[in-house]
Structure 1
Amino acid sequence: MTPVSRTRPAPALTLGEVEARAAAVLPPGVRDFVAGAAGQELSLAANRAALDEVFLVPRVLRDVSVRSTGCELLGSQFAMPLAVAPVAYHRLAHPDGELAAARAAAAAGVPFTAATLSSFPVEEIAAAGATTWFQLYWLKDRARRLDLVRRAEAAGCTALMLTVDVPWMGRRLRDIRNGFTLPAGVTAANLTEAAGSAAHRANGGSAVAGHTALTFAPSLTWADVEELRTLTALPLILKGVLDPADAALAVRAGVDALVVSNHGGRQLDGAVPGVRLLPEIRQAVGEGCRLLLDGGIRSGLDVLRALALGADGVLVGRPVVWGLAADGEAGVRRVLELLAAELDDALGLAGCRTVAEARALRTVRRGE
């Protein structure tokens, strides 16, 4: 009897293909938790549409035989202007969770952002080998949030990213309809067992939303940002800034970098896509503040678009989880390999040899 040949599928050629493979294996509730957004998901769709409205004006007759996607971010050199975004509960997608994703980031030469709600503790994630940034939610308990900062410092994290657009979790209707709860074995590993247990109990809605309502402080203000600035010497990043006026206030508060983001459409439904405000925010902060775009990045072309509009780099979140679900660490490596290859291709075809030259490209929007 001839044995059945079990061959691996051909490598994915786009992040869309990776998403489709992940969707085929993820439980429906988890798939909705990762893919979904707030309200009618207007901002989720707008993030993608806004990027596709941006067209580049390529330069010609330049020698692009040698190119580099390398860049500097917050004092470190990376292989490309991209960081893995903070995403909660990677173990929903794969048992190796954040550890596998961090190892893939290390192999790709990009930073990995460990989330407050990660499913492995920050110490284990940082030990996986990637340059690690730590994302902080403003917890109600001051001692616990300060403890998280000190743990991140002791673990060797090289930057602190404070999320400022989540006083509570947005109304994510898919999760409410699904009564989404964390399965056994998946916890908020950086928090105490008592603090994280609520995410396993649903009372007719999303247990994760209920947990965050109990844990996060909606009272975060600029005074708290200024206090945090005095409590750590790590570079400080604010994630979730959209208004140029807020960006200018952040610079005055001593912030080193901003993530221009509407939280992937998962907070205020109808919030403007970050890519629409990038040029104005760049003008407001000047060149002394690093800008990262988050929301809807699905290709190396999108990275180039962000650079041309004033960003220093981008964050990528959902595609990393898709890669993890599709093929563990190898799947995340494939996601980052695709982004690197696509960025190199787009860079050269636009007549640019470096990330710095990409930032000088002109853009036009659909209809202009």
Structure 2
Amino acid sequence: MAPVPSHSAVVDELERTAEAVLPQSVADFVRGGAGDELTLGWEREAFGEYALRPLVLGGVDRPDLSTTMLGSRVSLPVAVAPMAYQRLVHPAGERATTEAAGRAGALTVVPMLSSVCLEEVIGAATGPLWFQLYPLRDREVVADLARRAERAGYQALVLTADAPRLGTRRRDLRNGFALPPGVEPVNLPRRVGTVAEVDGAGESAIALHAEATHDATFGWEDLARLCDRTALPVVVKGVLCAEDARRAADMGAQGVIVSSHGGRQLDRAVPSLHALPEVVEAVGDRCEVYLDGGVRHGTDVLIAAALGARAVFTGRPLLWALAVGGADAAVDLLARLRGELEEAMVLTGRAGLTDLDGLLRRRRKDWAC
């Protein structure tokens, strides 16, 4: 008997197809996580711990999948996560994912380490755009990027707070990973944007660049200053506990993204979905809460929404799609997530994303209604 496919079989097939066309070092860079990659696996497994409790005869035909993200209305509660150096997988890079998100009715976070400059990316946008920042030792570079994003028309800043240094990514070390010619962090000035070459296995150019440029001393007061000095709302990405969620709201953040950095930073960190409920409870209505990590199917989106996420972010699946077929394949992936989410909402009798009380049961632990 053939094995039963996983609920994310379509994404698994995209991944296999992409791996066949990408250099191994690039495929490993996209796929890999930190340490023993335990958190990487836990991110996906966490969704399998929940079962859906359907309601029948609710008269739901066309559920409302829309939501707002810092005031921007989106027709799909699935946004594009900030992923560095997207031209590694397709020549159009960040322009293609931004175009795809707009066509699908979704929001995009453009990475600071984009391989296409932030002003050019916005030319491909038809949907809302946020811009990601890392805390850098050169604080003026961060301030200048914030000003450029504001002038260009971005609608929010996303501060990635969980990378004072990069976690040990053994795949990249084994491959001696370095950026190929034509792929570089074009948003950064040369004094901080040059990614060094490596001599071979045992080093990662990405890790060496982060070690030289990221600022591990950046703290909560620095976040408060960032919030005060920009006209854009600030979202903090990388929050995995109630204490940090409350501090982010105290310092002026208008949103938090519950994220383990895709399992790429601290191995054995709690998976995002497990951290989500305590973050939602901690901040209440003080700021918006989003989830990033492990989303591969429309039912994943529904589970996250039932646990309190306003929207979710997805990353690796879109890179696999981009590698296979560019913007069109990314649009197809987002359309599939939309269809899966709509089907799950109809079959569970849920008319909208704010109508999810009582939807979830922990699988094998609590089947009682």
TM-score, normalization by structure 1: 0.94
> 1:76 and 2:72 equivalent?
yes
Structure 1 residue runs of 5 or longer lacking an equivalent are 1-11
CA distance in 2, matches of 1:199, 1:352: 51
CA distance in 2, matches of 1:154, 1:233: 10
CA distance in 2, matches of 1:348, 1:39: 40
> 1:177 and 2:204 equivalent?
no
CA distance in 2, matches of 1:304, 1:257: 20
Contact 2:177–2:204 (Cα < 8 Å) also in 1 = yes
Contact 1:13–1:338 (Cα < 8 Å) also in 2 = no
* 2:306 matched residue in structure 1: 308
Structure 2 residue runs of 5 or longer lacking an equivalent are 1-7
> 1:147 and 2:140 equivalent?
no
Counterpart selection for 2:214 from 185, 206, 216: 216
Q: CA deviation at 1:214?
A: 0.5
Q: CA deviation at 1:355?
A: 1.4
**What is the CA deviation profile of residues 314-339 of structure 1, one whole-angstrom value per residue up to 9, with x for unaligned ones?**
00011111111000111111111111
**What is the CA deviation profile of residues 61-101 of structure 1, one whole-angstrom value per residue up to 9, with x for unaligned ones?**
20111222111111110011121000000000000100011
**After alignment, is 48-57 or 25-34 more displaced?**
48-57
> 1:122 and 2:131 equivalent?
no
CA distance in 1, matches of 2:55, 2:248: 35
* 1:48 matched residue in structure 2: 44
CA distance in 2, matches of 1:325, 1:206: 22
**What is the CA deviation profile of residues 204-231 of structure 1, one whole-angstrom value per residue up to 9, with x for unaligned ones?**
4101100111011011111111111101
CA distance in 2, matches of 1:50, 1:73: 24
CA distance in 2, matches of 1:294, 1:366: 22
* 1:131 matched residue in structure 2: 128
> 1:159 and 2:156 equivalent?
yes
Counterpart selection for 2:263 from 252, 262, 265: 265
- Using the aligned pairs only, state the percent identity: 45
Q: CA deviation at 1:15?
A: 1.9
Q: CA deviation at 1:251?
A: 1.3
**CA-atom RMSD, angstroms?**
1.4
CA distance in 1, matches of 2:354, 2:123: 32
* 1:299 matched residue in structure 2: 297
Q: CA deviation at 1:199?
A: 4.0
CA distance in 2, matches of 1:135, 1:68: 29
CA distance in 2, matches of 1:361, 1:47: 23
> 1:14 and 2:20 equivalent?
no
Contact 1:15–1:338 (Cα < 8 Å) also in 2 = no
**What is the CA deviation profile of residues 211-269 of structure 1, one whole-angstrom value per residue up to 9, with x for unaligned ones?**
11101101111111111110112111000000111111111111111100111100000
Contact 2:290–2:310 (Cα < 8 Å) also in 1 = yes
CA distance in 2, matches of 1:283, 1:108: 31
CA distance in 2, matches of 1:354, 1:41: 35
The amino acid of 1:101's aligned partner reads T
The amino acid of 2:72's aligned partner reads S
Contact 1:181–1:202 (Cα < 8 Å) also in 2 = no
**What is the CA deviation profile of residues 33-83 of structure 1, one whole-angstrom value per residue up to 9, with x for unaligned ones?**
000000000000011111111112222220111222111111110011121
Contact 2:176–2:198 (Cα < 8 Å) also in 1 = no
* 1:24 matched residue in structure 2: 20
